[in-house]
Each structure stands twice: as structure tokens, then as C-alpha cells.
Amino acid sequence: MTELVTRDDGSARPIHALPEAEADAGLARLPEAQRAWARVQGFTGGLGQLCLLPGPDGTPDAALFGLGTATSRARTRFAFASAAAGLPDGLWRIEGRLTPAEAQEAALGWLLAGYRFTRYKPGKAPAARLVAPQGVDADRIRALAAGEALTRDLVNTPAADMGPAELEAAARALAAEFGATVTVTKGPALAEGFPMIEAVGRASPRAPRLIDLGWGTEGPRVTLVGKGVCFDTGGLNIKTGSYMGLMKKDMGGAATVLGLARILMGLKARVRLRVLIPAVENVIAGNALKPKDILTSRKGLTVEVNDTDAEGRLVLADALALADAGKPDLIVSMATLTGAARTAVGPDLAPFYTDDEPLAAALSEAGAAAADPVWRLPFWAPYESVIEPDIADLDNAPGYGFAGSITAALFLRRFVTDTPRYLHFDIYAWQPNAAPGRPKGGVGQGARALLGAIERGFA
């Protein structure tokens, strides 16, 4: 497995990191034999290009890694992760002019390159180890990677092995590791206190529940609410097969907030953290939620169900009402909520909504610094009427045909009335094609950006 070490024990071999514009000058500084070898291998400094340099005995004693151009670097995150897979076992160190942000990204990418989902099939990770670049906090990078690995593991696990009970078990295991508390509401208490969570999950033989994790005694109070729909058939408005194929990832919001919680606790962050996860399966049975049913939410607002496949906002709404009653300093909801968000920004960007200008700026800055790209979308007030049907307070799936992510975000905002600072993420939580540091499968989005905003005091 890839490893990040704090100090060079004297055995580390150099990785000469060279931009394209400096490749010739870098090669000129090498011994003649290595320079000739690099030229034969066609090394030009192109982004991601790796060339092992032989020592006197023919075994590699150095390497070249191409940093490409500013344009190519802007188009590829975690490029240095590809080096981890191509280097032989042993200790390595980076030599080259990296900015602090580039050094951080290189170190994190190195660890992310070692991620393997091995629950059902063995997978061998690269064995090369890296000395943390100068100025990089190795413990912090390890905490970031551990949180991302937890998120990926949870999303990658199929629904047969990751239902509401298993998601609860994951939260309890995390709490035990860091001394957090967990309480769970289910059964009659769930039906009484969280009627929309119960309504969405009642058709499944795997009982729905609300998971409530708490940690920390000092600092701002931050409540993270993660959508935990462990599988989504669409309910009676059943999805077609192509749309149902990836629905094991519909608990990606829950996986992301648990991954972020792991990072915050691992870093001993000064924060009073609460994590709320409505954990359900949206399946079909005789008692399933039906189109045109009207639910009375925990908040007291009535909701007309015009599409049982718009269930995520229902379970989140009850959890948000509980979060709001506590009046924390910040509420964050994270959910794989709408296809409209994917259409708007694709799988790489994590769109977010907030009315808080300083918070929005802090998120954007922190996301850029942490190689965790986010993009702000608007709580557009003129669309409020779209989610207001004739016979209930709210409509969970208005037949408007436009702005699906925005109207979903506006729906959720109705349940946060007493907490001034609210932030909603509509994430994808899936890497559709393998990329450096990000194999195809589950992936975290927005967590490192949110970490930065929390550490900045929400700015």
C-alpha cells in the first residue's frame, strides 16, 4: 500500500519533478548516462510522464516525473498519483519546485493512489513510499485520505451488504474509534417523530432509522445531514434498469458526511459535531408510499408526493427539521439528490447552495486549495412558487421541467428556519471513469472544501 512518511531515513531516491518548459534544463543536470537514457525513453516533461533512471548497477536510483504545462495541470487533478503506480518498492522523495498547494495535492494524490476496494476481490496497491514534501503535514494528509477511503468503501459496497442496519453499524464503528456518541431512532418512535423518513422506508423489510452521532465539546456547532438511501428503486414510480443500476450510491451523502466526520475527529478539530443520517431503502411493497399521498412532516409542513422517486428530499427534510431545532452555527446537507445537478455541472464538480456570501467564498477558496472543486448554484426565490401545490404546503416533485436541482434545494431550505447559516450540496459521489487517484467507483465530493470552511470559522 502507498505510504506517506514524515522523514527521510537516508534511503529515499529522488523523483525529479519537471515542467515541460524546464525538461531540457533538468536533463542537462543529470549524469550523462541517465540523460541519454531519458532521451531514449522520450521524456519531455509531459504531465504524468514517468521515467525511471538506472544507477550504476542497472537498478533504478532516481526517476523523472513530468509536470506538463499550466494548462495541462489545470485539466488534471492528482496527476502525481500516477507516479505511485509506476515506481518500484522503496522510499522516494520529490525534488522540484512545487507550490504549497501542489505539494499538498501531490502527497494526498500519492495516498489516494493506494486505495483499493478489496471486500469482494483482492487488489494489490502500489508499495512505493513517499517522504512528505517540505511544508506538508503528513498526519493531516493521512487523515484526509482515511476519510476519503471510508466514503469510497461505503459507496462501493452493494446494497445487499449496506442497508440501513449496516450504515448504522458503520456509524457506530466510527464513533467507537473516536469516542463519539450514537443514538438511533426507529420503529414506532420513528413513525411518530420522523413521519416522512418512516413513510419512505416502511416498504422495506430492512427497517428505516435516523442515526444521530455526536462528538466534540468545544468550538462552533456544526450539524451535517447526509442522505442515507441505501438503495433507490424509485418506489412505485419505479426506475428503469439503466437508472437503477447505480442506486447503491444513493447513500453517497451519508458516506460523505461520515468521511468528513472521520477527518474532523482524526484532526481533533475544534468543533462540536453532529451527524444526522436518515437511513432507508426505497423499495416496493403493498404498504409503499404512493403518488399523491400527502405527508405531514416533522416540521408540520404538509407535502404532496407527486413522485415516489423524489424520496431523498423527504427523508432529508425530517432530519433537517431536527437539526434546525438545535439551532447550531451551521447546518450542511449532502445528498445525491438530482440528475439535474449532473446535467448542469457533470460528475467532477460538487454544486452547492447557500445564501451566506462569506461561507460561499470560503468554500470556493478551500475547494480550490484542496483539489476538491465546488461550484455555487442559486437559491432562486422566483422558483419558490413552483414547489407550492394547491392542496399542500409543498410538492416534492413539481412538474415544472426546469431547474430540478434548484427547486429541490428550495424545498430543503423550507425546513431550516431557525439556523441562519445553511449549506446544501447536491453531489454525484461516483467516479464514472478511472482518473489519477480516483478509480472508477465511489468518491467523496465537497468534504475537503467544507473542512477548509469549518477551519476558517465559516469565513
Residues whose CB falls within 8 Å of the CB of residue 222, separated by 6 or more in sequence, listed in order: 271, 272, 273, 274, 328, 329, 330, 332, 454
From the candidates 39, 239, 272, 456, which is the catalytic residue? 239
From the candidates 313, 413, 414, 438, which is the catalytic residue? 313
The reply to whether 438 belongs to the active site is no
* Secondary structure string (H, E, C) spanning 412-442: HHCCCCCCCCEEEEECCCEECCCECCECCEE
> How far is 458 from 439, CA to CA, in rounded Å?
31
* Order of strands across the sheet that contains 294-296: 294-296, 302-304, 394-395
Query: Long-range contacts: 67-70, Cβ < 8 Å, 24+?
Result: 67/17, 67/18, 67/19, 67/20, 67/96, 68/19, 68/20, 69/19, 69/20, 69/21
Q: Which residues pair with 210 in a beta bridge?
A: 185, 278
> How far is 109 from 437, CA to CA, in rounded Å?
5
Considering only CA atoms, which of 350, 190, 213, 198 is closest in space to residue 280? 198
C-beta neighbour count of 127 within 10 angstroms: 14
DSSP classification of residue 272: E
Question: Which cell numbers hold the place of 255?
Answer: 458516506
The reply to whether 313 belongs to the active site is yes
Q: Which residues pair with 376 in a beta bridge?
A: 352
Residue 65 φ/ψ, nearest 5 degrees: -135, 130
CA angle, corner 190, sides to 185 and 195, nearest 5? 145
- Just list the catalytic residues: 239, 313
